[in-house]
Amino acid sequence: MAETQSAAAPRKDERIREMSPMRKALIRPELGAICGTILVFMFFLGIASDSGMFAPEGIINWGTVSAQFAIIAVGACLLMIAGEFDLSVGSMIGFSGVIIALFTVQWGFPAWFGILVAFAMALAIGGLNGYLVIKTGLPSFIVTLAFLYILRGLTIFISIATTRKTIIGGVREAAEGDPIAWLFGGKVFSGLFVWLADLGIVGKFVAGPKAGLPVVEGIPMLMIWAIILIVFGHVLLTRTRFGNWIFAAGGDAQAARYVGVPVNRVKILMFMFSAFCATIFATCQVMEFGSAAADRGLLKEFEAIISVVIGGALLTGGYGSVVGAALGALIFGVVQQGLFFAGVESSLFRVFLGVILLLAVILNTYIRRMITGER
Amino acid sequence: MAETQSAAAPRKDERIREMSPMRKALIRPELGAICGTILVFMFFLGIASDSGMFAPEGIINWGTVSAQFAIIAVGACLLMIAGEFDLSVGSMIGFSGVIIALFTVQWGFPAWFGILVAFAMALAIGGLNGYLVIKTGLPSFIVTLAFLYILRGLTIFISIATTRKTIIGGVREAAEGDPIAWLFGGKVFSGLFVWLADLGIVGKFVAGPKAGLPVVEGIPMLMIWAIILIVFGHVLLTRTRFGNWIFAAGGDAQAARYVGVPVNRVKILMFMFSAFCATIFATCQVMEFGSAAADRGLLKEFEAIISVVIGGALLTGGYGSVVGAALGALIFGVVQQGLFFAGVESSLFRVFLGVILLLAVILNTYIRRMITGER
Amino acid sequence: DGERFVLVSHAPDSDSWWNTIKNAITVAGGQMGVEVEYRNPPTGDLADMARIIEQAAASNPNGIIATIADYDVLSGPLSNAVAKGIPVITINSGTEEQSKKIGALMHVGQPEYDAGKGAGEKAKAAGVTSFLCVNHYITNPASVERCQGYADALGVELGGQMIDSGQDPAEIKSKVMAYLQGNPDTNGVLTLGPTSAHPTLAALEDMGKSGTIHFGTFDLSGEIAEAIKGDVIAFAIDQQPYLQGYLPVVILTNLARYGVVPGNSINSGPGFVTKGNIALVEKYAGEYR
Amino acid sequence: MSDNLIELVDIEKHFGPVIALNGVSVSVKAGECHCLLGDNGAGKSTFIKTMSGVHKPTKGKILMEGKEVSFNSPRDAMEAGIATVYQDLAMIPLMSVTRNFWMGREPQRRFGPFKFFDFSEANEVTMTEMAKMGIHLRSPDQAVGTLSGGERQTVAISRAVFFGAKVLILDEPTSALGVRQTSNVLATIDKVRQKGIGVVFITHNVRHAMAVGDRFTVLNRGKTLGTAERGDIKAEELQDLMAGGQELAELEGSLGGTI
Amino acid sequence: MSDNLIELVDIEKHFGPVIALNGVSVSVKAGECHCLLGDNGAGKSTFIKTMSGVHKPTKGKILMEGKEVSFNSPRDAMEAGIATVYQDLAMIPLMSVTRNFWMGREPQRRFGPFKFFDFSEANEVTMTEMAKMGIHLRSPDQAVGTLSGGERQTVAISRAVFFGAKVLILDEPTSALGVRQTSNVLATIDKVRQKGIGVVFITHNVRHAMAVGDRFTVLNRGKTLGTAERGDIKAEELQDLMAGGQELAELEGSLGGTI
Ligand SMILES: Nc1ncnc2c1ncn2[C@@H]1O[C@H](COP(=O)(O)OP(=O)(O)OP(=O)(O)O)[C@@H](O)[C@H]1O
Ligand SMILES: Nc1ncnc2c1ncn2[C@@H]1O[C@H](COP(=O)(O)OP(=O)(O)OP(=O)(O)O)[C@@H](O)[C@H]1O
Ligand SMILES: [Mg+2]
Ligand SMILES: [Mg+2]
């Protein structure tokens, strides 16, 4: 009897207009980012298509930049969905890079060892961040802001104290033939591009020692990492038990705790994952460019957060999508490089960025309210 | 009858131990900051007392730095108590400075006009920040982050587009004899210091062009402004109706709205006040150093927030104290300069800052819980 | 006509020193009838700069002008650009050898370490024994090299004599004052540009030490010129950035049009601006000088 | 007692696609307690928010003592003498009792050209008013967060009464309260009513309504199901009406009819 | 029915200076609904949080089916068969019904070395379980934020039942609900009880307690005032006990004894 009664209720609600099924199917967290991506591509196809932006090297170029953003955005996204955020990402990038360089160049350890140490330290610091947030109950804004300063200060101090420089070069040479280092600095599918160049689809170098090789040497490992992390993050978030816990921890930590979700563990792990992504970023950068500097990663935390927020995640946690964050990173990268291609005064880039952020968030808010019934 | 009944209740509560009156009197929002200030001074009196840090010139030295922090901290404090915060403070400092310099140096207007224009624009932008936060319901983190980028981009763009420089000098000369400009760049009580120098309390220059003059020329207007703003903020917050509304808007905007507090107006005004403080900061800087640069104020928003949080305010609003924020600024300034006096490797300053922030916030949280019965 | 060149610098958006170069490329572009774009990493992150060079190469310009702020980071993208057949001229920081290794046509500039060392040699001659290097952008590698060169020329340890001053003028001023109060025997100051030079001037003024300390700085501005005239600043190291912007554009244009190119690198500096030669410099300080 | 203090006629309120109120008329007389009952989502809160100036009605008019008025903000309504106490939003826990009590209507004292919050008066009034309601504070600086739920409700009510409300609206003041706290609040309502103030009392609990109500209006899906005088209707009938009148009898049967 | 499913003996719980529980013993039998009553702050919530592993008791022991146990986390208690539904914290509004339903116990499907959340099963089970409770969802992806308060409670209860809870704890599930929603929840409790599950039901409403309760325990200021069987005690007596037994008679008198 109780059944019939409340069963009837949602059906015969004459007070709400129904949504069309089409509209319902479209409405998803990353909708805003999808629209944004389409708009951005249309825009640049319109104004910069003859500038080489969509030639193979051009694509690799903004692709790499977007991949960079995506790597840290995935970490920031999962952490944000778990209800916290991390302002120390940028400092962590500088820190990890310097650690790797110090171990390999300064102290002569093999590159794989330096990399492992950097990852171990990053995970430890990420864990410490999380531990402090959980134990003290302070907002993560404060705790990670403290680490923004602490890590940057340490990085400068260590590198100056040991090498009297804030930039440490020669990592590439030191990492030559290392069993792990190529995973971060190498390029893959070179064969494919040689073939494409022979077909004339990709240009060839015409001068210097590389004459005859294709202008695109291969897909940088950075992109491979970005794809791996996006797929991993997406599957973890949407297809696994742990993903459900991430949503739960961010949606309402107390409620989640009460039904047995190990919220503290989830949050600490996400802080560690965010630090892990930052270290991937740092390692790729160090291995590709062969040097580490104390100023690497400045303000990257904001860029990660912006990508995630453009991608539709909720700043307060419990809602978002890794695919959205990846699209946010793509938009970010395409706009940044595209404005260069289009020849816009570079200082205006920030103005564009700010405006895109505002518009994206307003759109996302509207979409989210439709999905979650939030008011 | 109802009286007797519940009247009895709070009295005969055998389940809670009473707090001593002494402890009760001490427990106030700024207690943590007071303790911190005492500790910091004791520390530096111990390790740096013979370095001139506590000589008159030394005091003016760290006093000026603290005053700078205090000016933006007062704005950030009232805004944070009203439940919002502003990441665009730093960009606003750069923007206002460049506007003043452009009007006075580039376009030849009198200095007072440039200053008025800068204040008007800052108030308008602050109001726009607030309006967007109120109208869209977005977190102020996002909206002001967007303005962090937009304002910085505009500042660089405008200064390059009009002067082809990002640093615009010659403001001091242009402002010579201006009726308003001295309010920001001058020094007061010079007579007092001459007298003190004659008494031997303040040293005199022994060589160079200024030989015979007191080492401390006067109190910089920056400090006067800091004191004015602190007193104004403190009185406004604790002694007026509007101050009560600030607390109410930050404590629970909805509840406040329902009893008739004009929450939107309060929040928008506080955004404007924060922009106003940033402009005071910028004007003092421009008038003192005679130049404006597009990169001024970088990361100042964090420094303001850190001062406020060290001073015991709650990041989520509704709780805090201007005196606390001022003490936070004092701690910040003394530690930063003190480390120099003490000869500590300067890059370690950031590490110290991070650690102090963490400790202060943990202490403040403990105190706040005792006061508010929060859990 | 209408050739397109891209100049990529390592400086953050707001670095005022680069205005001179921006103005130079505008002038050169106008005179030659070519289009010159100026690109830089917004935050001064060199890894971003590498991306910008790659991007510039992808847009197939008629030439690229770039600094070698960090050889490790930039050699790859720049030599790729060379290999694509794009003429490259390196400017500003970096050395001739590095420029050659990359395969660039030439280098127009002055290495940072040597410039610092030159400053140090002058200071040593003036009897400086204990100095202060005011570093307002410590995270940038070039800045430390300048201080290091200065210290090496004096033959003293750099150590704590280089301070991380931050970019806020009031803080720079206060830190300089604090340092000088704590280390009263300091008799030499080196600042790395107008950002740190202006507040340092103010600090010395306030402390009554103007003219009593040997003061050297990098780069020029109106205030610095004024201080040189007033005997407060002994010299400003001028690498004549105008030439670093102007010459490459002219050379690349001529290369593109007539295939002619000089065979050697050009040293645009170091020029020492002192009271003796200030008059001419002053007029255009900050814009063309 | 005969004339209406406030009368709302044919109020409609739409939120985008949602029709929250679809023609509701209610009036309140001086010294009466008018209970507003109804299922979740019936529109009770929306209705009283219209009354207290939070929402503007899409259609319909509001008469205060016979004259048509229109409220643009809660402040307007307050000034007209309508005070509202919301269940969760009555007080701001981080603030002191005095600051809460006076929130929005702080007493001021001139000091030259400046006006300051008059704390000595505010504190004194707060302490005496609280004492009248049976709450003895440690000090007027005590944070509201340290009070119990019932005490907070009582502070909110006494605030409304003190500010000379003619109509006092209470939105589910008793739902989270224990028996003792509830009876405290009900007793307070009774006291307030005796001062000639009209009370609008929203509750889901028929017993609470029957205990203090003079008239009862039941809302259902945005419409009025009717208004009844005390004595004209029995608790069971009211209960039936509140649940929409259907099928509930069955359910009640299985549970002993005592919900 | 005779043996206790769970028994808590002489539980004490201190929070720093606050003594929230001061020796409380309660037992729950299979198939019974044990009502926990008491004033605000009496310690009811603290007590059931101890039972469900949120707090560790300062003193006292917990016996599950005769064996002493100790819960270090809500997870432990859940695994032992104790499920708890908190009033405000039952569900996470931003998440879908399925994700909420399975939260903490997501069904998994192996896929090589990896385990994935088995959505097809989860969705199916959710839909049928919801239908059993009388809630017809548009789709299992629907966000909980779009459900009404009563529906959320019901989802939480059916989740607990589905996961084979032996003891179901409900903390004030009805306080914000309308009559219809309340009777829905009470009917659900009744159904659950008939499956042989022991229910602990906290409420401030004596009628709700009388409607479904088999035994009644009243807490007061952290102590048990005693346990009574259904039939041994009348609603009025219970009410007196809940309010601490003093002075209430007077108050009731003036309000007609119907709180
Ligand atoms: N701001 C709003 N935007 C959209 N819909 C709203 C808004 N406020 C209320 N509603 C809708 O209006 C209807 C009436 O809500 P209201 O809160 O008035 O009900 P109520 O009778 O107070 O219920 P309860 O007993 O649960 O408090 C509901 O369907 C609700 O979802
Ligand atoms: N985490 C905690 N820290 C300190 N004191 C607490 C904590 N949790 C509860 N208390 C105190 O313990 C006592 C019992 O609280 P509890 O929430 O158990 O009461 P309750 O019976 O559930 O009341 P209500 O009917 O209002 O829900 C109260 O005095 C409360 O202030
Ligand atoms: Mg309601
Ligand atoms: Mg409770």
- When the pLDDT of each residue in chain E is averaged and rounded to a whole number, the result is 82
What phi, psi does A114 have (nearest 5°)?
-55, -45
Q: Distance (Å, rounded) from C-alpha C207 to C-alpha C199?
A: 12
pLDDT value, residue A217: 81
Give Rg (Cα) of chain A.
23
Asked if residue A226 has pLDDT above 90, the reply is: yes
Give Rg (Cα) of chain B.
23
> E167-216 pLDDT, tens per residue?
999 988 887 777 777 887 888 888 888 888 899 999 888 888 888 889 99
Q: Distance (Å, rounded) from C-alpha B156 to C-alpha B165?
A: 9
* Higher-confidence position of A202 and E68: E68
Chain B CA closest to residue D184: B2
- When the pLDDT of each residue in chain A is averaged and rounded to a whole number, the result is 86
**DSSP SS3 for D43:** coil
pLDDT value, residue A366: 85
Q: What is the pLDDT along chain B (375 residues), one digit of tens a residue?
A: 333 333 334 444 444 445 556 666 667 788 889 989 999 999 999 887 777 788 888 888 889 889 999 999 999 999 999 999 899 999 999 999 999 999 999 899 999 999 999 999 999 999 999 999 999 888 999 999 999 999 998 998 898 788 777 778 888 888 888 888 888 888 888 888 888 888 887 777 776 667 777 878 888 899 999 999 999 999 999 999 999 999 999 999 988 988 888 999 999 999 999 999 999 999 998 988 888 888 888 889 999 999 999 999 999 899 999 999 999 999 999 988 888 777 777 778 889 989 999 999 998 888 888 777 665
Q: Mean pLDDT across the stretch D241-255?
A: 54
The set of protein residues with a Cβ atom below 6 angstroms from ligand 1 is A 375; D 15, 18, 20, 38, 40-46; E 178
Asked if residue A374 has pLDDT above 80, the reply is: no
Q: How many residue contacts between B and C have a Cβ separation below 8 Å? A: 140
Say if CB B316 and CB B368 are below 8 A apart: no
**DSSP SS3 for D229:** strand
Asked if residue A22 has pLDDT above 70, the reply is: no
Question: Could you tell me whether strands C235-238 and B167-168 are parallel, antiparallel, or unpaired per DSSP bridges?
Answer: unpaired
- Which of E12, E13, E14, E15 for mutating ligand 2's site (highest number of atoms within 8 Å of CB)? E15
- Which of D39, D45, D170 for mutating ligand 1's site (highest number of atoms within 8 Å of CB)? D45
Give Rg (Cα) of chain C.
19
pLDDT value, residue A23: 61
Q: Mean pLDDT across the stretch D6-11?
A: 90
pLDDT value, residue B208: 66
What phi, psi does B156 have (nearest 5°)?
-65, -45
Between the two ends of chain D, the Cα-to-Cα distance in Å is 33
DSSP state of B336: H
What phi, psi does B360 have (nearest 5°)?
-60, -45
Q: Mean pLDDT across the stretch C258-266?
A: 81
Q: Distance (Å, rounded) from C-alpha D169 to C-alpha D151?
A: 17
Q: Mean pLDDT across the stretch E124-146?
A: 82
Instruction: Calculate how close chain E gets to A310, using CA atoms only, in Å.
Output: 18
CA–centroid distance, E33 to ligand 3, in Å, is: 29
Q: How many CA atoms lie within 13 A of B270 on its CB side?
A: 33
pLDDT value, residue A11: 42
Share of chain D above pLDDT 70, in %: 92
The closest of E160, E33, E8 to E84, measured between CA atoms, is E160
Alpha-carbon C114 to chain mean position = 12
Q: Distance (Å, rounded) from C-alpha A320 to C-alpha D21?
A: 34
Among B3, B4, B15, B374, the residue to mutate for chain E (most E Cβ within 10 A) = B15
Q: Distance (Å, rounded) from C-alpha E87 to C-alpha E126?
A: 21
Q: Mean pLDDT across the stretch C32-53?
A: 82
Helices (H), D95-205: 97-102, 119-132, 149-162, 179-194
Question: Could you tell me whether strands B292-293 and C63-67 are parallel, antiparallel, or unpaired per DSSP bridges?
Answer: unpaired
pLDDT value, residue B279: 97
Chain D touching partners, 3 or more CB pairs below 8 A: A, B, E
Model confidence at A103, in pLDDT bands (50, 70, 90)?
A: very high
Asked if residue A174 has pLDDT above 90, the reply is: no
Q: What is the ipTM metric for this complex?
A: 0.87
Q: Which of residues 179-238 of A touch E (CB under 8 A)?
A: 235
pLDDT value, residue B350: 87
- Do E and C make contact via 3 or more CB pairs under 8 A? The reply is no
Asked if residue D259 has pLDDT above 70, the reply is: no
Residue closest by Cα to atom 25 of ligand 2: E40
CATH class of A54-176+216-343: mainly alpha
Q: Mean pLDDT across the stretch C261-265?
A: 79
**Maximum average pLDDT range among A135-144, A339-348, B215-224, C274-283:** A135-144
pLDDT value, residue A13: 46
User: Residue A249 has which token pair?
Assistant: 């921890």
D251 → closest Cβ in A2, A15, A16? A2
Share of chain A above pLDDT 70, in %: 92
Say if CB C233 and CB C282 are below 8 A apart: no
> D179-212 pLDDT, tens per residue?
777 887 888 888 888 888 899 999 888 888 888 8
What phi, psi does B183 have (nearest 5°)?
-60, -25
Chain C touching partners, 3 or more CB pairs below 8 A: A, B
- How would you label D97-125 residue by residue, b for 16+ Cβ within 10 Å and e otherwise? bbbbbbbbbbeeeeeeeebbbbbeebbeb
CATH numbers and ranges of domains, chain E: 2-91+164-254 (3.40.50.300)
Asked if residue E258 has pLDDT above 50, the reply is: no
C55 → closest Cβ in A295, A341, A350? A341
* Higher-confidence position of E68 and B370: E68
**Lowest mean pLDDT across A133-142, C226-235, D1-10:** D1-10
Model confidence at E164, in pLDDT bands (50, 70, 90)?
A: confident
Question: Could you tell me whether strands D4-15 and D18-29 are parallel, antiparallel, or unpaired per DSSP bridges?
Answer: antiparallel
Share of chain E above pLDDT 90, in %: 13
The closest of E100, E119, E103 to E111, measured between CA atoms, is E119
Model confidence at C111, in pLDDT bands (50, 70, 90)?
A: confident
* Higher-confidence position of C241 and A8: C241
pLDDT value, residue A7: 37
Residue B277 makes CB contacts below 8 A (sequence gap 6+) with B71, B72, B74, B75, B76, B89, B229
Q: Sketch the domain layout of chain A as residue ranges.
A: 54-176+216-343
Asked if residue A92 has pLDDT above 90, the reply is: yes
Beta bridge partners of D218: D37, D226
pLDDT value, residue C161: 85
Among A155, A165, A166, A171, the residue to mutate for chain C (most C Cβ within 10 A) = A166
pLDDT value, residue B2: 37
pLDDT value, residue B9: 40
The closest of E87, E57, E56 to E170, measured between CA atoms, is E87
Q: Distance (Å, rounded) from C-alpha B144 to C-alpha B152?
A: 12
Residues E100, E105, E107, E111: is their CA dihedral positive or negative?
Answer: positive
pLDDT value, residue B212: 77
**Lowest mean pLDDT across A247-256, B16-25, D148-157:** B16-25
Chain D CA closest to residue B314: D94
CA–centroid distance, D95 to ligand 4, in Å, is: 23
**Element spanning B124, H or E:** helix B111-136
Inter-chain touch E251–B1, beta carbons under 8 Å: yes
Inter-chain touch E89–A10, beta carbons under 8 Å: no
DSSP state of C168: -
Model confidence at A203, in pLDDT bands (50, 70, 90)?
A: confident
Instruction: Calculate how close chain A gets to B315, using CA atoms only, in Å.
Output: 8
CA–centroid distance, D44 to ligand 1, in Å, is: 8
pLDDT value, residue B210: 72
Residues B70, B71, B72, B73: is their CA dihedral positive or negative?
Answer: positive
pLDDT value, residue A14: 46
Chain A CA closest to residue C35: A343
Among C23, C175, C207, C231, the residue to mutate for chain B (most B Cβ within 10 A) = C175
| Cis status of the peptide bond prior to C270, with omega within 30 of 0 | yes
Model confidence at E20, in pLDDT bands (50, 70, 90)?
A: confident
pLDDT value, residue C16: 67
Instruction: Calculate how close chain C gets to A185, using CA atoms only, in Å.
Output: 12
Position in ligand 1 atom list of the atom nearest CA D219: 21
What phi, psi does A327 have (nearest 5°)?
-65, -35
Inter-chain touch A17–D17, beta carbons under 8 Å: yes
- Do C and D make contact via 3 or more CB pairs under 8 A? The reply is no
Q: Distance (Å, rounded) from C-alpha E217 to C-alpha E227?
A: 4
Q: Which residues of D touch B25 (CB under 8 A)?
A: none
Model confidence at A91, in pLDDT bands (50, 70, 90)?
A: very high
Among A204, A205, A349, the residue to mutate for chain C (most C Cβ within 10 A) = A205
pLDDT value, residue B22: 61
Q: Distance (Å, rounded) from C-alpha A241 to C-alpha A239?
A: 7
pLDDT value, residue D35: 92
Chain A touching partners, 3 or more CB pairs below 8 A: B, C, D, E
Instruction: Calculate how close chain A gets to C284, using CA atoms only, in Å.
Output: 24
Q: Distance (Å, rounded) from C-alpha B28 to C-alpha E220?
A: 33
Q: Distance (Å, rounded) from C-alpha B13 to C-alpha B16?
A: 6
Asked if residue D243 has pLDDT above 80, the reply is: no
pLDDT value, residue B10: 41
Query: Does residue A17 belong to the interface with chain D, where contact is any CB pair within 8 Å?
Result: yes
Q: Mean pLDDT across the stretch E75-83?
A: 87
Neighbours of B199 (CB within 10 A): 8
Say if CB A332 and CB E106 are below 8 A apart: no
D187 → closest Cβ in E206, E251, E256? E251
> A229-243 pLDDT, tens per residue?
999 999 999 999 999
